[in-house]
Amino acid sequence: MLFLTAANAAGDSEKVDFTLPDINGKLHSLSDFEGQWVVINFWATWCSPCIQEIPHLRKIAKTTEPVQPVVIGIDFEEAEKDVLQEFMDQLQMDYLVLIVGEAPLIPFEPLKGLPTTFLVSPNREIVADWVGAVTEQKVIDELSKQVAQFES
């Protein structure tokens, strides 16, 4: 199940939103995190660069400088629930993990490759994106730059 909404009132930038289930079927929406910086990472269990960046994403989720962002991993494959849970447990994925739906998650998709990571502002606007594995430093540097621009 996937829901996507976009608002574009006069003078407003497009706000992105989606609703996706977690591994237990509980629905989560991007709009639940409005007012917070959000790092959204598309990944798959078979993707070795995705696996390499998971420790970085775990650190990003715990950082508090310049702000503490929410990290959301979106599993971009059709994996069995037990296989996915074992994978998440082994890699200690202690941030929110959602399961991609059948419909394209526009404007995030189509993806140019995996992993792909997006930085979303507190206003729910995409302000940065990366194709390929990210590092903690790369995301924190961009987050610092964007927070400074956002607050000025």
Q: How far apart are the first and last CA of the chain?
A: 38
Give the H/E segment covering residue 53.
helix 48-62
Structure tokens at 58: 């775990």
Question: Of all residues in the chain, what percent carry a pLDDT higher than 90?
Answer: 85
Q: Is the pLDDT of residue 42 over 70?
A: yes
Structure tokens at 91: 């890699």
Within a 13 Å sphere around the CA of 28, how many CA atoms are in the beta-carbon half? 20
The model carries a pTM of 0.90
What's the confidence (pLDDT) of residue 5? 32
In the chain, what are the domains?
Answer: 3-151 (3.40.30.10)
